Structure 1
Amino acid sequence: MLTPDLLHFSSDNLFAELTLAPSTHGPISEKELAQLLALPEFNQLFPIEFNIKKAVKDINALAAQDEGKTTQTFKIAERRDAEILLETSSDNMQATMTLVAAWGGRSVKLPDILHSLKENGISMGLSRLKIEAILKRLTLLKPGESISSVIANGKPAVNGTHAKIERKVPLARERLLHPQERDDGTVDMRNLGSVVMVSPNDVLMVKTPATEGSKGYNVLGEVLPATAGKDVQMVAGEGTQFDAADPNKLIATVAGQPVEINNGMQVDDVLQIKNVDVGYGNVDFKGSILISGDVCEGMQVRSSGDITVMGFVESAVLQAEGDITVSKGVLGRQLGGNELSTKLIAKGQISAQFVQYSELNSQANVLVTKQLLHSKTETQGTLTVSDATGRRGDLIGGSAYAEKGIVAVTIGATADTKTELYCAMKLDELKQQFKDLDEGSRSLTVAKLDTEARLRRLPPKEEWQADAVMVEQVKMMLAEKHRIDEELTREETEKEMLAKETDGYYDFYFIESKKHIFSNVEVHIGPAMQRTQREHGPCQVRNLHGEIQFDYSNKK
């Protein structure tokens, strides 16, 4: 049996040494050595497993030999200082510290941690409270046990918000979805309210400016730049101006009908007509047109603003720089060569209660609240065939192309009427736009680096500041650098927005039916195409990995 006196500290007090004569004390076992190391004065030391195994092997081999009479010494345990382990995340936005409790050695103090942080370059986002807390918990650990904690967090850069323009007045097209309520609480579907008019000094639009964003940093102290928000220039059309007290407000300067234009508004004179018929003649008016009755067969109406028709449009042509709103219906018939007798062409939105055998062409959106039958529809926005409740809205026959998606209550008919739908057809075009922007950004970057290199090669300022020609050249170079920086920022913002749109293109743009899609509906989403062979319930139809997929998960 091994006695406690055989184990002692080395002269430098760093090791536990076993000293014995193998022939006297051997053979021995690892268990016996473990019992010695469990003594109070040694139980805080780190067992050196390799040396323990070697000591047992050597002592037992010499126990029965003459050489075993010679005393031998083995270092079987040692003091080890506490450890500080620092690890940063892959993006250097977080630092984790692990402390390993000492084996009878020196513990960790705050200055040790600060020194280690400095050596590892961790300098930002540190939490002194978390460091002190982990140090306190370290004192409760057994030798060799460890504790970890996040002690530093970087600050992400916050990109600026894009400028936003908010319209503060209603438009004529919005009246279609908001019939007037009677005194008894019922709704008069024929009465769409009075004409929307504004007076001088009425606020038309309010702009929320873009923000620059705020820079961030990682735990290594590296600055993370922020992307400034994209600015939008609010446009003051005719009959409007910016408020002298607040340039972010657009106000009316005259009385008239408010008309939305690209990123702005104008206030139009309003031409009011009872009926457009042979007796009145065709209409071509610079301003907005309100027709309280109908537009009759063979007539043409053109406007630089909105066209609002309170009655019907039948086999006529309407063309507007703004919106076209028809409170009742749009009626046409089929002519030779698949031509249709009624055409509505608008740069703004086209809205009507029902449409049949007509061509609709809008650069914005198309809204039909009841039925869209056997017509040709083309819009760069969305096509919606639904009332406000989502209970009624039939899209039957003809063809409909809406770049940003189609929503209808019912698509097709039980009679298997052929109906063609197209959406999300411009992905290749958007990708080309992104490629062009990327090439432009690269060219600008080269020009920027060239300008910066020229500025760096300038002699000291005191050598040329009295030379008027040289001063002018330097001003021009600085102005050019500023222009390039602004252009680069603008293009990078556009690239970011375009990248988001192309990456999620088919997630954004799809076809949705709130109740039914019947058979013989031909669906085109991008290059993918499928003709329905059966009836489908409420669903979204998407391009998934190049194939048409029906998603029923959103049905109500």
Structure 2
Amino acid sequence: MLKDKLLLNQETNNIELHMQLSRLQEADLDSIVATLSKSRYASSLFDNNQLHQALTKAIEAKSDPALVIIGKASDAELTIHIEDGGMIAVAELRPARGGKSLSHTDIVRIFAKAGIKHGLNPRAVDILSEHSKKNSSARKIRCTVAKATPPIFGKDGKLEQLTPTLKDRVLRPQSAGVGKVDPRDFGAIISVSEGSPLLRRTPAIQGKDGITVTGNVIPAPPVQDNLLEAADGADLKDGDENLLVATRLGIPVLTDTGMKVVDTLELDSVDNRSGHIEYLGNVVVKNDVAESMRIKVGGDVLIMGNIEGCIIEAEGDITIEKGAYGHLNENNISSCQLSARGDVVATMAQNAGITAGKSIHIKKQALHCTLSAADSVFIGLQTPNEGTLIGGHIYVGKGLYCGELGAPAGVSTAINLSHAYDLAMLELEQSRERLATEQEAQRELSAELNHIKEQQISPELQVQLDMCQSFLRDQKTTTEACEFGVQTANIRLSRVAESVEVIVSKNAFSGLEFSLSDQWALSTSRDYGPSKIFYSGNSLQLEPYTR
């Protein structure tokens, strides 16, 4: 084949073989194919079957000299894909097959055109340039060439409680000796003296923004900080703005932003002789609260006996050392209603309606109650909790923790995990509404600006133009802030959904109905052992619980 011609047609990029017809007719086609596979255009040739067909057709055409198109040359091609919202840049490279490879300059230019500004692998240019060269064995490759810098999550601030409250007194029975605990002995009433430390604040640590491969900022999720403010009977310690101390003798009471120290009203009992109680501070009742009585306080309530069919409201915590009992009317509303901005603690609860701004702790058993807690409901003092909850309606923001849930007879028990989710969804909807309002205002300003520009600009009109441009810049800033607010609300909603859980440490019976918002539900038609119910994969799921 030394007298034959093998060349690249620059206009068509076809690989052409020129041979005398007589030589082609006399030659062994397998020998020709084998020789071609060793040529400089080997990477651009058709496969062997196609080569045989092309050579055979040339012989049949009887053109002299014969011209056979035996392959197609192509230049190296590099395509960049920005994926995962700018978190990675992926390169797809098809190496040169008889055509031009890519130089370092070519690859850098392609990266720049794709908008890659951050996180580029320093070896990516060398690797791609080398792989783009003519190579009969080279194949199309796909590789990650740039990675974003993810945001660094900060840490929420927290308030560390340094002294127990009336609620803690009931939750922590006193030791009766080595290895013994007397569940009826809760110790003396909690009090603090002047100068006693109450709360310590640990400030929040801000996160650090990330950067996409295209250079855009990825905002770090916002952190929640805690205010620590002086309140009645408490103040910040001199020289330490993160430590709250008592300024007088009294009972410590948790508030939303710290702790206060209040005087306490002590009563033997609440009945017809005492009348209804309304007091700004704390109230301690040493015995029972009689049926149909009402107590309303601005601090905590500690009742050392039972309550039945009464109404108690507290700005702080409600703590009942024994039981809370009620009766249901024809509308299934209990005669026993407890409402606290803080926690509610009781040993037993039956047919009671309990609402807590924080958590509900029932030490032993809750039967057919309506329990609503912004945070969680705990049935049992152990860890994991081993108390029993049977029947009723439970509405929580984070979790429900108990030993047994429901009853072997399949008593209907409804657990709604939507308290915090509903609030987060409301926040998201309000953020979207604000964004829509600001976007509409921005569109109106843009339309007004375009209308002004279409006119012949006079000195008076120039003033309007300048003002409109200034207003539009300010409006864009406001709109961007609202967009960030929507993103933050979306993150918060996802976090709330992923944080809800129900932990049953012993038995979860049939007849349980779990729900999260109006979108997800789960029910049990048989009995289970230790179980965990949680949100994952856009659904509520139940799986065995392992301690």
Q: TM-score, normalised by structure 2?
A: 0.73
Q: In the superposition, relative to structure 1, how do residues 107 and 254 fare at CA in structure 2: closer, same or farther (>3 Å)? A: same
- Unaligned stretches of 5+ residues in structure 2: 454-458
Matches within 5 A, 1:289-300: 289-291=283-285, 293-297=286-290, 300=294
Which residue of 2 is the match for residue 208 of structure 1? 203
Q: Secondary structure at the match of 1:128?
A: coil
How many residues of Structure 1 are paired with residues of Structure 2 in the alignment?
Answer: 523
Aligned residues of 1:102 and 1:144 also touching (Cα < 8 A): no
Q: Which of the numbers 514, 517, 520 marks the counterpart of 2:505?
A: 514
CA contact (8 A) 2:201 2:226 kept: no
Q: How does 1:87-106 map to 2 (within 5 A)?
A: 87-90=80-83, 91-97=85-91
Aligned to 1:261: 255
1:373-392 matched pairs, under 5 angstroms = 373=367, 375-390=369-384, 392=386
Contact 1:134-1:148 within 8 A present in 2 as well: no
Give runs of aligned pairs for residues 302-317 of structure 1, distance below 5 A.
302-313=296-307, 317=311
Letter aligned with residue 165 of structure 1: K
What's the counterpart of residue 185 of structure 1?
179
CA distance in 2, matches of 1:483, 1:16: 61
- Given candidates 132, 135, 139, the residue that maps to 1:146 is 139
The question of whether the paired residues in 2 share the 8 Å contact of 1:316 and 1:343 is answered with yes
Q: Tell me how far apart the structure 2 counterparts of residues 380 and 341 of structure 1 sit (CA, whole Å).
A: 22
Cα distance in 1 between the residues matched to 2:405 and 2:43 = 80
Q: Which secondary structure state, in structure 1, belongs to the residue aligned with residue 184 of structure 2?
A: coil
1:34 paired to 2:29: no
Residue of structure 2 equivalent to 1:59: 59
The code of the aligned residue for 1:352 comes to A
Larger radius of gyration: 1
* Distance change (3 Å), C-alpha of 1:204 and 1:517: same
1:384–1:408 contact (8 Å) kept in structure 2: yes
RMSD: 5.1
Among 111, 124, 127, the residue aligned to 1:130: 124
Which structure 1 residue ranges, 5 or more long, are not aligned? 63-67
Structure 2 Cα separation of the partners of residues 358 and 205 of structure 1: 36
Deviations 1:333-352 (A, max 9, x none): 64986776654332221101
Give the TM-score taking structure 1 as reference length. 0.72
The residue type equivalent to 1:442 in the other structure is: A
Residue 423 of structure 1 is aligned with which of 404, 416, 421? 416
Distance 1:424 1:552 in 2: 17
Contact 1:124 1:217 in 2 (8 A): yes
Match of 1:493 in 2: 488
Alpha-carbon contact 2:348-2:366 (below 8 Å) kept: yes
Counterparts of residues 267-286 of structure 1 (less than 5 Å)? 267-271=260-264, 273=266, 275-277=268-270, 283-286=277-280
Q: Is residue 358 of structure 2 the alignment partner of residue 364 of structure 1?
A: yes
Match of 1:65 in 2: none
CA positional deviation for 1:269: 1.5
- How far off is 1:103 after superposition? 5.4
Counterpart for residue 85 of structure 1: 78
Shift of 1:370: 0.8
Q: Does 1:176 align with 2:170?
A: yes
Matched residue SS, 2:544:
coil
SS of the aligned residue for 2:222 comes to: coil
The question of 1:553 aligning with 2:547 is answered: no
> Distance in 2 between the 1:185 and 1:284 partners?
42
Cα 1:413–1:296, aligned 2, differ >3 Å: closer, same or farther? same
Q: Which residue of 1 aligns with 2:456?
A: none
| Partner Cα distance (1:216, 1:396) in 2 | 51
In structure 2, do the counterparts of structure 1 residues 114 and 477 end up closer, same or farther at CA, with 3 Å as the change threshold? closer
User: SS at the partner of 1:410?
Assistant: strand
2:44 corresponds, among 19, 43, 46, to: 46
Deviation at residue 388 of structure 1 after TM alignment: 1.1
Structure 1 residue 518 displacement after superposition: 5.7
Aligned residue in 2 for 1:226 = 219
